[in-house]
Amino acid sequence: MSEFGEGSFVSEWERVKTNTRDMEKIWSTPRTFAGDVWFRFRKKPTALAGFLLVLFLLAFALLGPLFTPYSYSDQSLTLANIPPILSVTEASNGNYLYITPAMKVIQIGRDGKLLGQLRKIKDDDTLRRISFTLDDATVVYLDYTVKPAAMLDSNGMRSPADKQVWNTSFLLGTDQLGRDILTRLMYGMQISLLVAFVAATINMVIGILYGGIAGFLGGRTDAIMMRIVDIISTIPLTLYVILIKVTLDNGLFSIILALSSVYWVDMARVVRGQVLSLKQQEFVLASKSIGSSNRTIMLSHLIPNAMGPILVTVTMLIPSAIFVEAFMSFIGIGIAPPMASLGTMCNDAMEALRSNPYQLFLPALAICLIMFAFNFVGDGLRDALDPKLKK
Amino acid sequence: MTKYILKRLGMMLMTLFLIILLTFILMHSVPGGPFTRDKQVAPAVLAALEAKYNLNDPLPVQFFSYFSGLLRFDLGPSFKYTGKSVNDFIVNGFPFSGRLGLITLVFVLLTSIPMGIVASLKNGRWQDMLLMALATLGVTIPSFVIAAGLMYVFAFQLKWLPIFGVDDWKGYILPMVALGGYSISFLARLMRSSLLEVMGQDYIRTARAKGISEMRVITRHALRNAIIPVVTVLGPTVANLLTGSFVIEKIFAIPGMGSYFVNSVTQRDYTTIMGMTVFYAAFLITMVFIVDLFYVMIDPRIKYE
């Protein structure tokens, strides 16, 4: 107490000049609602990872085809079922030889480029070996007395398949018709994403209109409209997507139509709930009192305010649309060949799972990545839009 | 209670009627379907169809005769297989599908609920992280991918389990895991969040304050309330298992209803598609109804207006 005499404060501290203008000034930069949501969204690592993954997948699907030399329908049956990583035997000319599951021999350059099939000379049943010519000069043999079959050089000496080469002609291998899997993945993802986005948008529009009208009008109209929604939601939707798909042809359009005719129910419920609570609020009354039409109140006051939950529902709708599309393609009522979605690619590869597992696991991985990405984004959005979690 | 049941029953029958009507209309609008006259069908099938559906009658009359057939559990003849009726497919397939569905349901409940409980009691610890990471995988990976992966690892590579068929109990293991994967993950997540919420309630603190052991607090006080959300989604879960089995039965070559249904879809066997859809829908609606009744009974807080 004695060290700081009362007088010392007066001398060390100085009165600040008051400025009435500064008192009202907001010093921190104001953040918009969207900015606020983005701020909370990117705090969550899974959400940000999901968002980046979505961007990456979109780039892969849309820009990828520009960089690939193949089209989704280019087939070369001689180069069918070639995996991305090849176990090869070194040949006398310095190149590598790869034995396909169908007992063909393919010559592969040192850089991993496929140079084509060796010409077959003779299949000797008694010795159980097939002879081929290499560069029309030397003869090599394929010995199928052992399993897996092995190459013999021109002197009949066994040369082991001890080298692993990355297939640089087809980075992710080829399918059962010799089409490049990487290219087909790009186009397949395009189709899966297109179906999902269009179906989600249509569902959103129908759901907003239906739920909005039901919630806004209320009363008996609402009761009847929601009873219809209740009935629709007790019907197993997958069955109806299948049924609608069966009545239409095998095109892209019919998948979208089938998906968008049944999945709007959740959206309608969400929008109705939002509109019911929003329409009681003062700003709606204010708008009514200045003579706004119902249409204006609905479109420029109610729906924009309900956008948060709507957005979350849409992001969750996208993975389920992709899932149902893949499901339908997988049971064989998907898009017509030669186009393929990821689900059709899985379905085509299922028969040869044992010998060519990569043909199934690559598109399956792509489906999983899409599902992960959108689920994470949806989860993140839901948390970011929830004012209760605001810190 | 009786009034509630009657009301729900009325709703259920109305829904069922609408489903039948909708299915009938959809199948009649198929170009080249069984109900158009300009097509090439085996004469025997045509005769059966003619006899069954009275194709010359006006549509409402045809619908009425189809509907009265349904009331007698007669789902009509197959459009593709001469001499087979949709009832045959269901009678042949139902035992396999029913067994698989029931085993899977039990498996789902026995794994997901303990998973959710452990995750919520170890909230934030490594057990929780691990279980929830697994659950996230389970809800994002489609069942056919899980099925193919399991088949490749356990049947092709390790050779522990049969590739397909259900000749003995081993054949059911892979289909069960693949079919239940989504539901296990979904229910485990639900159970976890529900138990977390309940554990934060005042009455749990009261129970603890009375000196009851933690074990008893969880089993007698917390779980009873926490399990209710899980029971509410049992209806949709059953629906999920049933429609999910289309793919699983196809992959593992189980001769169940799902296989017949998928087969009829790819073969465009329209009358079978129609019959099977009606059967599936009726079955599902009944299951959801039963689950709902059960749910109303176990939760005393719910008032059945």
- Cα separation, A118 vs A303, whole angstroms: 66
- What mean pLDDT value characterizes chain B? 81
A336 part of contact set with chain B, CB < 8 Å:
no
Q: Which residue is it, tokens 């000049």? A: A17
Decide: A247 and B29 in contact? Cβ < 8 Å.
yes
Residue A101, preceding peptide bond in cis (omega within 30° of 0): no
User: What is the per-residue pLDDT for A2?
Assistant: 47
Contacts of B253 (CB under 8 A, 6+ apart): B164, B165, B259
How much is the average pLDDT of B245-261?
84
Q: How far is B32 from chain A (nearest CA, A)?
A: 10
Q: Which of A270, A273, A171 is nearest to A215 (CA)?
A: A273
Q: How far is A355 from chain B (nearest CA, A)?
A: 10
User: What is the per-residue pLDDT for B39?
Assistant: 55
User: What is the per-residue pLDDT for A6?
Assistant: 54
Interface with chain B: mutation pick from A330, A354, A370, A375, highest number of B CBs within 10 Å: A330
**ipTM of the complex in this document:** 0.77
Q: How far is B212 from chain A (nearest CA, A)?
A: 33
Q: What is the pLDDT of residues B135-168, one digit of tens each?
A: 888 888 888 888 888 888 888 777 777 777 667 7
User: What is the per-residue pLDDT for B45?
Assistant: 67
User: What is the per-residue pLDDT for B303?
Assistant: 59
What is the dihedral sign for C-alpha A53, A36, B190, B102? negative
CB atoms B26 and A247 under 8 Å: yes
User: What is the per-residue pLDDT for A391?
Assistant: 45
- Structure tokens belonging to residue A25: 């000034």
CB atoms B265 and A246 under 8 Å: yes
User: What is the per-residue pLDDT for A98?
Assistant: 77
pLDDT at B197 over 80: yes
Q: Which residues of A touch B285 (CB under 8 A)?
A: 234-235
Q: Which residues of A touch B288 (CB under 8 A)?
A: 234
CB atoms B15 and A234 under 8 Å: yes
Decide: A325 and A339 in contact? Cβ < 8 Å.
no
Of the partner residues A246, A346, A371, the one whose CB lies closest to the CB of residue B144: A346
A316 membership: H or E segment, kind and range: helix A307-330
Query: What does pTM read for this prediction?
Result: 0.79
A379 part of contact set with chain B, CB < 8 Å:
no
Of the partner residues A247, A326, A331, the one whose CB lies closest to the CB of residue B250: A331
User: What is the per-residue pLDDT for B240?
Assistant: 80
pLDDT at B176 over 80: yes
**Per-residue confidence at B41, pLDDT binned at 50, 70, 90?**
low
What is the dihedral sign for C-alpha A378, A382, A385, A391? negative
Decide: B278 and B199 in contact? Cβ < 8 Å.
no
User: What is the per-residue pLDDT for A247?
Assistant: 78
What is the dihedral sign for C-alpha A6, A8, A11, A15? negative
Interface with chain A: mutation pick from B140, B240, B257, highest number of A CBs within 10 Å: B140
Interface with chain B: mutation pick from A242, A246, A355, highest number of B CBs within 10 Å: A246
For chain A, residues with pLDDT lower than 50 are: 1-2, 391
Which range is least confidently modeled, A93-107, B179-193, B208-222?
A: A93-107
CB atoms A236 and B280 under 8 Å: yes
- Three-state secondary-structure class, residue B28: helix
Provide the percentage of residues in chain B whose pLDDT is more than 90. 6
- What mean pLDDT value characterizes chain A? 79
**Per-residue confidence at B106, pLDDT binned at 50, 70, 90?**
very high
Q: Which of A261, A260, A100 is nearest to A170 (CA)?
A: A100
Q: What is the pLDDT of residues A204-263, one digit of tens each?
A: 999 999 998 998 888 888 888 888 888 777 777 777 788 887 777 767 788 888 888 778
- Cα separation, B172 vs B161, whole angstroms: 9
E strands in chain A: 85-90, 96-99, 105-108, 114-117, 119-124, 129-134, 138-143, 150-152, 158-159, 163-166
CB atoms B247 and A330 under 8 Å: yes
- Three-state secondary-structure class, residue A85: strand
User: What is the per-residue pLDDT for A118?
Assistant: 73
- Structure tokens belonging to residue A92: 């006398």
Q: What is the pLDDT of residues B72-92, one digit of tens each?
A: 777 777 777 777 788 888 888
- Within a 10 A sphere around the Cβ of A374, how many other Cβ atoms? 28
Decide: A324 and A259 in contact? Cβ < 8 Å.
yes
Using alpha carbons, list the distances in angstroms from residue B7 to A111, B107, B260, B303: 73, 33, 34, 14
Q: What is the pLDDT of residues B15-37, one digit of tens each?
A: 888 888 888 888 777 765 555 54
